[in-house]
C-alpha cells in the first residue's frame, strides 16, 4: 500500500543552510507547500532567492518551464518563528550538527505541530535515537538523510531510531520515492550506510600513500581507469574538503569505540593542520590554484610486444584477458595450472592480497609480477603492476609490454599487499558485509546507497559476488596476516557466505 504523504501536506524545513535550502526545493518541486525557518534573520528569505536563481538557470537551459518554476516558488514561504510551523505534517530539520540544539528545537516543534506530524532530522553523524529521546513521542521521529546537493543527489537514507514506528518509516520511504529520490532504509548506527561503508575508499588510499606505494596522482588514476570509479580517493578528498572528511572519519572512529577499521590518517590530519583543505583552500593533495598543472602519473616505459603468451588455468576475475590478447594479435596457448599468465619466462598473476615478494617466496615462481584488479578488462585504460623484490627490469618490461599490447597504460607501483583496486574493493565489501551482518541495512539497500550516494560503479557486495567471496576473503586474510592488524579482520558474514556457497545478491 502506498503511504506517501499527499502533496497537500505542508512541509516545514528548519535550517536554511546548504542542506535545508536543497531539501526545501525538492519538497516544493514535489508539490508541497514548504515553510522555511532559520534563526538567522533573513536566511530563509535568502535561501528562497537562491532557489529562484537555481530554477531560473534551469529554465534558461530549457530543463524547466517558467510556469513550473513559478509554481515551485509560489509554494515556498519563509516564516519568522517556530509557531508558524503549526500547519506542518512533516518537519525536516537541517540545523547545526549539535545534539542539544537539535533536541531543544524538536521539543519546541513538538509543542506547535499536530500530534500525528512526522518529525525528521537530516543529521549525518548524530544518533537518531538520541535526538528522539528528547521528544515526548519518539515513535514519530526518524532520520531523513539527504546528500549534498539535495536537488541533484538521488539517495536518501531513511534512518530508524530505536523507537521509530514502522508506519512512519514506510511513509517517509514512499514520500522520498514520490519526490523522485532513491530511498534506502537503515538503522541509526554511526555513519548510517554511506558514511560508514565509504571509509575504506579514503582510508586504504591514505595507507597506500603513507607506505609509499605510489603518489596520489597515480593512485587516483589506477582507481579511475582500472577500478572504474568516477574519482580517485585523493581528488575526491580534495573536493569534499579535508576538514570535513577528517571530521567524519574521526566521528565514525570514535562512535565505534576506536575500532581500528576506521582509524584516521596522520597524513590527512597534517593536511588539516597545514590548512591544506583541498579545492576550497586552493591546495590539498593537489595544487588547485589557477593555472596549476596536474602532476603527472607514473607511466611504465614501452615494453616488448608479446608474441606468445601461455595461460595456465582459470584466471578468475581476469578471465577476459586471453581473448583480449588474441584480439590484439598475440598467440595464446592455454593449459591447466593455477591461474597465471606466462610471457618471456615471467609469471604474471592477479593480486590475491599477498605482496609479490611474499607470493614469489611461497609459491616458488620467479620472476613474478602481479597485476591489480580491473572493473572491466575491455574498458580499463590502465593497469597497475607490482614486482617481487629483486625482479629484473626486463621481466617487469615484459609484463608491461603485455598490457600495453592491449592498449592499456601501465603504472608500476611498489610491492603493496593487495595493490590498489583489489585492496580497496575488498575492504569496501568487507565493511558492507559487516553492516549487513549487523542488520544496519539489507545488502540491496547497501549497494543502492553506495551507487547512488557516492557514485560507485558497482555496489561493494555485487562486486564481491562478481570477484567471488573466496577471493575477497583471501585478500583480507592476507592483509590481516601481513599487517597483524585487526583493521583487516574479515566480516563473519563474508565467511558464512563462502561456507554456505551463497551470494549477497540472489
Ligand atoms: P549550514 O551551516 O549550511 O546550515 C545550518 C543552518 O541552520 C544555518 O542557516 C543556521 O542559521 C541554522 N540554524 C542553526 N541553529 C538553528 C536553530 N536552532 N533553528 C533554526 N535554524 C538554525 O549546515 P548544513 O551543511 O546545511 O547542515 C545542516 C544539517 O545537515 C547538519 O545536521 C548536517 O550534519 C547535515 N548534513 C549536511 C550535509 C552537507 O554536506 N553539508 C550532508 C547531509 C547532512
pLDDT tens string 150-192 = 999 999 999 999 999 999 999 999 999 999 999 999 999 999 9
Which pLDDT value is given to residue 2?
55
- Cα 215-216-220 angle, rounded to 5 deg: 120
Which pLDDT value is given to residue 157?
98
> How far does residue 293's CA lie from ligand 1's centre (Å)?
35
Q: What are the strands of the beta sheet with 340-343, ordered from one edge? A: 331-335, 308-312, 340-343, 346-350, 368-371, 382-387, 409-412
Candidates 154, 127, 155; CA nearest to 143 is 127
> How far does residue 32's CA lie from ligand 1's centre (Å)?
21
Q: List, chain by chain if needed, residues with CB within 6 Å of any ligand 1 atom.
A: 14-20, 37-40, 43, 94-97, 101, 105, 122-124, 146, 148
Choosing from 16, 32, 127, 145, which is the catalytic residue? 145
> How far does residue 187's CA lie from ligand 1's centre (Å)?
22
| Ligand 1 atom at shortest distance from the alpha carbon of 124 | 34
Percent of the chain with pLDDT over 70: 100
Is 361's pLDDT higher than 70? yes
Q: Where in the chain is the domain with CATH 3.40.50.720?
A: 11-188
* Residue carrying C-alpha cell 590518517: 265
Mean pLDDT of 35-45: 97
> Which amino acid residue places its CA nearest to atom 25 of ligand 1?
18
Q: Where in the chain is the domain with CATH 1.10.1040.50?
A: 196-273
User: Is 145 among the residues known to form the active site?
Assistant: yes
Specify the 3-state DSSP secondary structure of 77. strand
Specify the 3-state DSSP secondary structure of 306. coil
Q: How far is CA 400 from CA 306, 349, 360, 387, in A?
A: 10, 13, 18, 11
Instruction: Report pLDDT digits (tens) over 241-259.
Output: 999 999 999 999 999 999 9
Which pLDDT value is given to residue 134?
87
**CATH (residue range 308-412):** 3.30.750.190
Q: Where in the chain is the domain with CATH 3.30.750.190?
A: 308-412
- CATH fit for domain 11-188, picks 3.40.140.10, 3.40.50.720, 3.90.1300.10, 3.40.50.2300: 3.40.50.720
Q: Give pTM, 2 decimals.
A: 0.96
* Residue carrying C-alpha cell 609490454: 401
Which pLDDT value is given to residue 362?
96
> How far does residue 7's CA lie from ligand 1's centre (Å)?
25
Instruction: Report pLDDT digits (tens) over 266-285.
Output: 999 999 999 999 999 999 99
| Ligand 1 atom at shortest distance from the alpha carbon of 20 | 26
User: Is 195 among the residues known to form the active site?
Assistant: yes
Mean pLDDT of 396-401: 98
Which pLDDT value is given to residue 454?
95
Its CATH class, for the domain covering 196-273, is: mainly alpha
Sign of the alpha-carbon torsion through 26, 32, 33, 38: negative
Instruction: Report pLDDT digits (tens) over 208-242.
Output: 999 999 999 999 999 999 999 999 999 999 999 99
Which pLDDT value is given to residue 76?
98
Amino acid at each position: 500500500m502506498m503511504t506517501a504523504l499527499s502533496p497537500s501536506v505542508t512541509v516545514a524545513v528548519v535550517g536554511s543552510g546548504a542542506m535545508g535550502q536543497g531539501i526545501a526545493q525538492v519538497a516544493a518541486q514535489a508539490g508541497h507547500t514548504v515553510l522555511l525557518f532559520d534563526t538567522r534573520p533573513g536566511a530563509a528569505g535568502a535561501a528562497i532567492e537562491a532557489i529562484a536563481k537555481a530554477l531560473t538557470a534551469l529554465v534558461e537551459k530549457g530543463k524547466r518551464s517558467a510556469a513550473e518554476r513559478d509554481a515551485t516558488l509560489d509554494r515556498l514561504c519563509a516564516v519568522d518563528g517556530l509557531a508558524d510551523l503549526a500547519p506542518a505534517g512533516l518537519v525536516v530539520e537541517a540545523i547545526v550538527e549539535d545534539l542539544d540544539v537539535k533536541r531543544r528545537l524538536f521539543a519546541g516543534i513538538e509543542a506547535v505541530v499536530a500530534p500525528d506530524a512526522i518529525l525528521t532530522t537530516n543529521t549525518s553523524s548524530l544518533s537518531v535515537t538520541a535526538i528522539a529521546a528528547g521528544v515526548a513521542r519518539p515513535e514519530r521521529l526518524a532520520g531523513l538523510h539527504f546528500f549534498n546537493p539535495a536537488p541533484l543527489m538521488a539517495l536518501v537514507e531513511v534512518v530508524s531510531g530505536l523507537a521509530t514506528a514502522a508506519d512512519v518509516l514506510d511513509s517517509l520511504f514512499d514520500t522520498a520515492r514520490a519526490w523522485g529520490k532513491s530511498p534506502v532504509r537503515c538503522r541509526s548506527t554511526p555513519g548510517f550506510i554511506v558514511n560508514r561503508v565509504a571509509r575504506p575508499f579514503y582510508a586504504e588510499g591514505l595507507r597506500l600513500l603513507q607506505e609509499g606505494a605510489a603518489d596520489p596522482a597515480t593512485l587516483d588514476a589506477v582507481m579511475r581507469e582500472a577500478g572504474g570509479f568516477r574519482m580517485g580517493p585523493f581528488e575526491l578528498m580534495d573536493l569534499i574538503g579535508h576538514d570535513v572528511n577528517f571530521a567524519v572519519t574521526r566521528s565514525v572512529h570514535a562512535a565505534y569505540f576506536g575500532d581500528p577499521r576506521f582509524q584516521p590518517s596522520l597524513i590527512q590530519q597534517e593536511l588539516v593542520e597545514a590548512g591544506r583543505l583541498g579545492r576550497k583552500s586552493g591546495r590539498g593533495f593537489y595544487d588547485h590554484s589557477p593555472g596549476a598543472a596536474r602532476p603527472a602519473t607514473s607511466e611504465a616505459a614501452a615494453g616488448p610486444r608479446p608474441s606468445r603468451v601461455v595461460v595456465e588455468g582459470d584466471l578468475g576475475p581476469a578471465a577476459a584477458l586471453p581473448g583480449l590478447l588474441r584480439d590484439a594479435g598475440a598467440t595464446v596457448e592455454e593449459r591447466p595450472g593455477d591461474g597465471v599468465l606466462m610471457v618471456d619466462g615471467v609469471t604474471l598473476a592477479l593480486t590475491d592480497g599477498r605482496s609479490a615478494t611474499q607470493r614469489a617466496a611461497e609459491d616458488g615462481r620467479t620472476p613474478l609480477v602481479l597485476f591489480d584488479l580491473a572493473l572491466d578488462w575491455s574498458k580499463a585504460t590502465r593497469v597497475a603492476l607490482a614486482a617481487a623484490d629483486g625482479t629484473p627490469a626486463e621481466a617487469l618490461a615484459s609484463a608491461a609490454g603485455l598490457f600495453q599490447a592491449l592498449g592499456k597504460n601501465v603504472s608500476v607501483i611498489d610491492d603493496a599487499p593487495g595493490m590498489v583496486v583489489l585492496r580497496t574493493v575488498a575492504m569496501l565489501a568487507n565493511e558492507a558485509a559487516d553492516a549487513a551482518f549487523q542488520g544496519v541495512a539489507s545488502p540491496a539497500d547497501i549497494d543502492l546507497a553506495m551507487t547512488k550516494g557516492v557514485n560507485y560503479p558497482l555496489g561493494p557486495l555485487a562486486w564481491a559476488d562478481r570477484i567471488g567471496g573466496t577471493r575477497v576473503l583471501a585478500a583480507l586474510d592476507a592483509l590481516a596476516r601481513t599487517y597483524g592488524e585487526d583493521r583487516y579482520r574479515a566480516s563473519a558474514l563474508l565467511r558464512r557466505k563462502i561456507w554456505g556457497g551463497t551470494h549477497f545478491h540472489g
